[in-house]
């Protein structure tokens, strides 16, 4: 009996051109900014706790055609912990407070799976695509148990063909997690967690074998 892989290979070859897909793989680098993930008060000032601007490195996988693709990604970054709104001194003379950042306070591994759709081709050049995905983020920090949060994201990407088998991509994403990446037990008393928004910009090289 032929192996299952042989049957799958024969099936893919038998697909009509309109249904056949193509695998792709890529590497990405990007940066993100986050909304407040927890809030409290100090000396009548609101203090916000937020993950601070990690640089992320990722692997991309895709299957499909230019018109429609299934896509997945795995990314890793090391965000800092930022406190915004902390009074400058005990007198609180600095309006709005200051921003205090502890760098590389967290490790975050994020995984996304979804689909992208071609919107239009710009003058027979780059292709504009829209994408939506489900996300899973694994947050950890020294001395604290890891925390996993799920969410969604959507974005737009501009894809440039460099050769028949290589393309470059610039993309922007907006992500949302209903749960905060911070564990409530790790925060000071009086601080409450919040759902979190993420804005990301990234560049990628994608190979079509």
Tell whether 162 is covered by a domain. Answer: yes
Whether the model clears a pTM of 0.85, i.e. scores above it, the answer is: no
Q: What is the per-residue pLDDT across 42-82, written as a single tens digit (0 to 9) for each? A: 555 688 999 999 999 999 999 999 899 999 999 999 999 99
Tell whether 89 is covered by a domain. Answer: yes
Tell whether 180 is covered by a domain. Answer: yes
CATH number, residue 192: 2.40.160.20
Q: Can you give the pLDDT of all 209 residues of the chain as single tens digits? A: 445 445 444 444 444 454 468 999 999 999 999 999 999 875 556 889 999 999 999 999 999 998 999 999 999 999 999 998 876 665 545 555 688 999 999 999 999 999 999 999 988 789 999 999 999 999 999 888 999 999 999 999 999 999 999 999 999 999 999 999 999 888 888 899 999 999 999 999 999 98
Name the one residue in this structure whose structure tokens are 């090289």: 205
Phi, psi of 194 (to 5 degrees): -140, 155
How far, in Å, CA of 75 to CA of 26, rounded? 12
Q: Into how many domains does the chain fold?
A: 1
Q: Residue 67: CA atoms inside 13 Å, Cβ hemisphere, count?
A: 5
Phi, psi of 122 (to 5 degrees): -90, 100
Minimal CA–CA distance to 68: which of 25, 19, 28? 19
Structural domain boundaries enclosing 46: 19-207
Tokens representing 7 are 């049957």
Tell whether 8 is covered by a domain. Answer: no
Tell whether 10 is covered by a domain. Answer: no
Tell whether 23 is covered by a domain. Answer: yes
**According to the model, what pLDDT value does residue 7 have?**
46
Tell whether 55 is covered by a domain. Answer: yes
Q: How far is residue 47 from each of residues 51, 157, 166, 180, 195, measured CA to CA in Å?
A: 14, 35, 46, 16, 16
Q: How far is residue 136 from each of residues 14, 158, 187, measured CA to CA in Å?
A: 35, 24, 22
Burial of 70 by CB count in 10 Å (0-12 exposed, 13-18 middle, 19+ buried)?
A: middle
Tell whether 4 is covered by a domain. Answer: no
């Amino acid at each position: 009996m032929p192996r299952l892989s042989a049957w799958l290979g024969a099936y893919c070859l038998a697909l009509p051109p309109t249904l056949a897909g193509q695998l792709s793989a890529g590497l990405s680098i990007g940066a993100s900014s986050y909304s407040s993930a927890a809030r409290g008060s100090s000396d009548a000032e609101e203090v916000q706790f937020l993950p601070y601007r990690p640089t992320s490195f990722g692997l991309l996988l895709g299957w499909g055609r230019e018109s429609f693709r299934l896509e997945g990604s795995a990314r890793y970054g090391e965000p800092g912990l930022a406190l915004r709104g902390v009074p400058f001194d005990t007198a609180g003379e600095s309006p709005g407070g200051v921003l205090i950042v502890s760098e590389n306070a967290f490790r975050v591994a994020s995984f996304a799976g979804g689909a992208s759709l071609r919107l239009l081709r710009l003058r027979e050049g780059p292709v504009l695509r829209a994408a939506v995905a489900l996300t899973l983020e694994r947050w950890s920090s020294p001395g604290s148990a890891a925390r996993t949060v799920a969410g969604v994201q959507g974005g737009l990407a501009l894809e440039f063909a460099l050769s028949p088998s290589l393309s470059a991509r610039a993309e922007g994403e907006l992500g949302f997690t209903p749960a905060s990446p911070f564990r409530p037990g790790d925060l000071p008393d009086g601080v409450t967690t919040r759902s979190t928004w993420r804005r990301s910009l990234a560049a990628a090289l994608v190979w079509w074998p």
